[in-house]
Amino acid sequence: MATDYKTLAGQEFDRGAFESLLRRKVFLWQSFEPYGATKGLFDYGPPLETLESEVISIWRDHFIRSEKMMALKCSMLTPYQVLKTSGHVDKFADFMCKDPKTGEILRTDHLIKDVIETRLKGDREARGENVSDEPEDPKKKKKASKVAKTAVKLDESVKKEYEHLLATLDDCTGEDMGALIKKHDIRNPISGNEVEPPVSVNLMFQTQIGASGKEPAFLRPETAQGQFLSFQKLLEYSDGQLPFASASIGYSFRNELSPRSGLLRVREFLMAEIEHFVDPQSGKEHPKFHTVKDVKLPLLSRDVQQAGGSTPVNVAIGEAVSTKLVDNETLGFFIVRIHQFMQKIGIDMGKLRFRQHMANEMAHYAADCWDCELLTSYGWVECVGCADRSAYDLSVHMKATGVPLQVREPLKEPKRVEEFVAQLDKKKSGPKFKKDAGKVQAALDALTQDVKEKLSISMQQDGKVEIEVPDMGKVDLEKDIVTIQKEVRTETMREYIPNVIEPSFGIGRILYSLMEHVYWTREGDAARSVMSFKPTVAPVKVLVVPLQKDVRFADLLQTLEHRLDDDQLSFKVDQSGVSIGKRYSRNDELGIPFGITIDYQSLEDNTFTLRDRDTCKQVRAGLDQILEAVSKMVKGKEAWSEVQKRLPAFEGKEEEKE
């Protein structure tokens, strides 16, 4: 498979070999293998579980501790009504098409995109264009080959129509997509069968709380809603002061119709979500923005994308905010912090970009949105979304529950407010409307200032007005039953619903991208693969290798083990019979950054060699010095290049030891 995607050493990336390493070293596998494995669910073995834990530790330190965020843990099980209000019951859905003959269920947008892209590619082939460099999914290739329509030339007009279709697919309704399927004779690419019209399917897992049958619930599709509903608690904890941010690391669920792409699209996933609450009148400034304003970032703007471009531009965030490319300081600050986080965990920064959402990608209420995307062998993958959710969520929950999810703060100066008020006379309206009096008053309250002003004029002229009351229809109100007039009052408090800026991290996608980014093979030996995890995140920190099985090494080994334990350094002892070189090699696949060898010289002078995984270089020193160096490197406080300068080199090559 030829793709644009290269390893960190500039080699062709061989996904087959990479996946074989992940299997061999039990990084991950599909869950419930003995029962035939379940699609879209994955188990993490020791290396990946520990990698995740290290990445989460860094996330906690980088965001929660360092930015003084309020850590929250909210429930996964979520009552129906919460997600009805948030809009998920109605809108968190995908369209699916069923292949009536095979029973297979296909996501409609994926189906259309796959088929049309295959046709366009076939056209390019037929015209003799070179398509071998285009990244492609090996599974797609296999599927497409069964109904091979490759290398068919298209009319220029059809080609244009297809290109337009792909560019506008995200805006299509289910009906639109149904029409496209008919018009372009789009079929299941595997079976060649026609498919049934698109049907909307909600993507939440549904269940019941308790045994009464009265508490339908879902597994949450995002961790955000629990944070919004905790707003009053957070406000209390912050002594009523804004801005503040909550942060939650937890699982969300999405009942994918036909999961694929391994860890990139799964049904159960860990997210780390921040909700940063700001006063919308503050201009969304950030007190620490000045500390990051000169940081340059690869930004791919909406305008560049609209013009067909895909190359990000390196811009200082200060400039990006001042030119309004990025909407506000808070959004800009988080984009920088995300960038720094990715660097800390060892992402290849040449494979990272921030892409602005197109207008049709954003929720209707969102002001601006930037995704942090990482390049993988599957193409660019959205790993962090950084959106401005405005006041949407707090507003709808407040409206649905009547609980004030808002801030009340004293105005600096009392404010004189002049406005039209329409007020029923209670004594007279009571007998007339009885229990409906409240409805009428509510209808009056809901009128805009404009309408109230007009009604006050009608009242003066006609002695009565007509208004529309929900459930009651048109209602006449006479002069003696209602007063509509301009009133003046003094406000001393300001009430407002905060806006929310939300950086949302998909941890599984970040881990997968990271694993691809650190994978490479030693020059001249494609079988010797290496996972170059940074020492800070590497699942195991130290490999201990006694030169060979020899009882004389036992005491030194025990001392070394105790010392590593005292320093809380995770380590693995490899005492198997094979050569040291082989033992290093096979542990390079686990990404263990440092190796300590016990050899015969150790018995004489208590020195050990310390080996760096990436360069294969070694130094030799006493135990105190070696452990100090390892501890510092694992904490990210020293680099190997510095250690190599400090400690004497050891020239014995790995090959010689074999």
The alpha carbon of residue 52 and the mean position of all alpha carbons in its chain are separated, in whole angstroms, by 15
Among 145, 558, 576, 615, binds a second copy (CB under 8 A): 576
Distance CA 452, CA 470 (A): 17
Site string for a second copy, 214-233 (x = CB under 8 A): -x---x------x--xx-xx
Q: Which of residues 22-51 bind a second copy (CB under 8 A)?
A: 25-26, 29, 31-35, 38-46, 48-50
Minimum CB separation from a second copy for residue 72, in Å? 6
Distance, in Å, from the CA atom of 535 to the CA atom of 571, rounded to the nearest integer, reads 12
Tell which positions 350-369 bind a second copy, by CB under 8 A: none
Question: Whole-number minimum distance, CB 237 to a second copy, in Å?
Answer: 5
Smallest gap from residue 580 Cβ to a second copy (A): 17
Residue 548 makes CB contacts below 8 A (sequence gap 6+) with: 577
The position carrying tokens 């159960």 is 268
CB of 651 to a second copy, least distance (A): 32
Residue 278's Cβ-count burial label (10 Å; 0-12, 13-18, 19+) is buried
CB of 505 to a second copy, least distance (A): 17
> Site for a second copy (CB under 8 A): which residue of 155, 239, 476, 651?
239
Map the footprint of a second copy across residues 426-485, applying CB under 8 A.
none
Smallest gap from Cβ 40 to a second copy, in A, equals 8
Q: Name the one residue in this structure whose structure tokens are 């033992």.
A: 583
We find the least distance from the C-beta atom of residue 547 to a second copy, in angstroms, to be 19
Scanning residues 151 to 210, which ones bind a second copy (CB under 8 A)?
201, 205-210
Burial of 48 (0-12, 13-18, 19+ CB in 10 A): buried
Apex CA 385: angle with CA 380 and CA 390, to 5°? 150
Helix (H) or strand (E) holding 454: helix 449-462
Sketch the per residue contact string, 376 through 405, with a second copy: x for CB under 8 A, - otherwise: ---------------------x---x-x-x
**Which residues from 512-571 bind a second copy, rule CB under 8 A?**
565, 568, 570
Burial class (CB in 10 A: 0-12, 13-18, 19+), 552: exposed
Q: Give me the least distance between CB of 256 and a second copy, in Å please.
A: 8
Rounded Cα distance between 184 and 609, Å, is 67
CB 293, CB 542: distance < 8 Å:
no
Q: Count the residues of the shown chain that bind a second copy, applying the rule CB under 8 A.
A: 81
Site for a second copy (CB under 8 A): which residue of 96, 264, 335, 384? 96
Among positions 494-523, residues that touch a second copy (CB under 8 A) are: none
Q: Is 32 left (phi over 0), alpha (psi -120 to 50) or beta?
A: left
Least Cβ distance, residue 57 to a second copy (angstroms):
8
DSSP string spanning 216-235? EEEE-S-SHHHHHHTHHHHH
Nearer to a second copy, 230 or 609 (CB): 230
Nearer to a second copy, 11 or 75 (CB): 75
Site for a second copy in 50-79 (CB under 8 A): 50, 52-53, 57, 60-61, 64-66, 68, 70-79
For the purposes of burial, counting CB atoms within 10 Å of the CB of 439, is it exposed (0-12), middle (13-18) or buried (19 or more)? middle
Contact status: 577 vs a second copy (CB under 8 A): no
Name the residue among 408, 402, 398, 372 with its Cα closest to residue 387. Answer: 372
Our CB check for a second copy shows the closer of 79 and 438 to be 79
- Nearer Cβ to a second copy (41/167): 41
Query: Smallest distance, Å, CB 77 to a second copy?
Result: 6
Residues 241-300 that bind a second copy (CB under 8 A): 251, 253, 255-258, 267-268
Torsion of CA 48, 50, 51, 56, to 10 degrees: 130
